[in-house]
Amino acid sequence: MSGDGVRFDVTIPYYGDFPLLQAAVRSVQAQDGDDWRLTVVDDGREPGVPEWFAGLADPRVHYLRNPRNLGVTGNFNRCVELARAPHVVLMGCDDLMLPGYLQTVRRALRRSPGATMVQPGVQVVDAAGRPCRTLTDTAKKRLYAPGRVRKAAALLGGEDLAVSLLRGNWLYFPSVCWRTEALRRHPFRADLGVIQDLAVVVELLLDGGRLATDPEVCFRYRRHAESASAAQAATGARFDEARGFFLDASTRLLAHGWPRAARTARRHWSSRLHALTLLPAAASSRPAAEALLRHAFAPRRAPRPAPAAPGAGPAARDAPVRRAPDVPATGPATERATGPATEPATEPATERATGPATEPAQEPATEPPTEPSGPDAHEPPEPYQPPRPYQL
């Protein structure tokens, strides 16, 4: 607990819809206890926002506006930097905490005081706030989340959890409560956009982190059909980034001694299937359709490392090769946290973190064929198999 008795820093990285932000703030104010603090970090320039916060006159609520636009990743990391309590939440600026959110998180931490992350139960709502059930959310709940997580509290970690999340990420990032010092050790990667939340979780698991879950529904996650992640998916940019991440993660997981997790990352079936579900919407755009097909059917093995330069010593020959993303990163993660980045990489990721990003239209580059390498080098190509439910 921090010196002022605050145990939870609830932060809202903001850029977007002001009325939805107001509702999010009120939902945090309705939480019980005196061990929390709310900080809204504004990455935009919308008039009237600072004045509204000044009029709240609530000592638990703090507001600041970034002097310059940081982009979604920068604003996420800024929120973590500002947190002084042992635990931090990076809440979406259009999501809602139900009155028992912090009570549920406290209960989970009493059961598992060493947990690095807490995932409570979540209700998905549409843009109008009505409960909804999308294919993505049904798959998260029924196909990818371990069965016991839906029925009772659990503590998960290690390679088993890595396999489960890489098979299909069933977490709801804005609802997760994180251990602050863990996020400081593993900040959000500026070179990733829509998949940066999963990248952070993988780093935490490799560092020994554990996830506590509680099925009590205490958070409303708003899903927008027009979010930046959906827009990027339609153009294929999301999947170019995802493929680079999964292949890079596979190399690291194998080096860590987690071969099952490495194999799951290399195959990334759920991401491939998701690309195929978007093909009908992308049929009118040849570049988008080609990008989606490339992701769905591209070889699942990382390319063979290039030979060392003549005269290079053993260190140079044996150095691990990190695979770069297939296209320039489109930094960020959810359009609720921030506006478009001012750096060369265009930011976005879901319209609750940032403003819309634009990319120059271009024909996707055709990848040269790659030589297989590693433990699967002599495997015959596998027939398509749908992902199986994961059971711990």
Instruction: Looking at the structure, tell me whether residues 216 and 254 fall in a common domain.
Output: no
Contact 231, 137 (CB under 8 A): no
Torsion of CA 234, 237, 242, 243, to 10 degrees: 110
Rounded Cα distance between 27 and 346, Å, is 31
- Domain of 284 in residue numbering reads as 228-303
| Pairwise CA distance, residues 331 & 76, whole Å | 12
For residues 15 and 26, give the distance between their C-alpha atoms in angstroms, rounded to a whole number.
17
Residues 170 and 235 in one domain: no
For the segment 310-365, what is each residue's pLDDT rounded down to a tens digit?
Answer: 444 434 333 333 333 333 333 334 444 444 433 333 333 334 444 444 344 444 44
Q: Measure the CA–CA gap between 348 and 340, rounded to whole angstroms.
A: 7
CA neighbours closer than 13 Å in the CB half-sphere of residue 8: 25
Same domain, 290 and 253: yes
Q: Are residues 41 and 188 in the same domain?
A: yes
Average pLDDT over residues 110-131: 97
Q: Which of 222, 237, 258 is the last residue of a domain?
A: 222
Q: In terms of Cα–Cα distance, which of 146, 136, 150, 159 is closest to 390?
A: 146
Q: What is the mean pLDDT of residues 78-94?
A: 98
pLDDT value, residue 330 = 36
In the predicted structure, residue 369 carries a pLDDT above the cut 60: no
Do 207 and 250 belong to one domain?
Answer: no
- Stated as kind and residue range, the H or E segment containing 163 is helix 158-167
Number of domains in the chain: 2
Per-residue tokens: 64: 């600041």
**pLDDT at res. 29:** 98
Of the ranges 37-51, 59-73, 348-362, which one carries the lowest mean pLDDT score? 348-362
Residue 186 in domain: yes
The whole-angstrom separation of Cα 384 and Cα 365 is 25
Q: Same structural domain for residues 214 and 239?
A: no
Q: Are residues 126 and 238 in the same domain?
A: no
Q: Is 195 inside a domain boundary?
A: yes
Same domain, 177 and 254: no
Together in a domain, 233 and 188: no
If you write DSSP's letter for every residue of 80-122 in order, what string do you get? HHH--SSEEEE--TT-EE-TTHHHHHHHHHHH-TT-SEEEEEE
Q: How many residues are there in the chain?
A: 392
188, 222, 256 - which closes a domain: 222
Q: Each residue of 10-33: pLDDT tens digit?
A: 999 999 899 999 999 999 999 999
Same domain, 56 and 123: yes
pTM to 2 decimal places: 0.75
Q: Looking at the structure, do residues 34 and 179 belong to the same domain, yes or no?
A: yes
DSSP 63: E
Task: Give the gyration radius of the chain's Cα atoms.
Answer: 21
Q: 342: closest CA among 328, 353, 357, 352?
A: 357
pLDDT value at 281 more than 80: no
Using an 8 Å Cβ cutoff, are 152 and 209 in contact? Answer: no
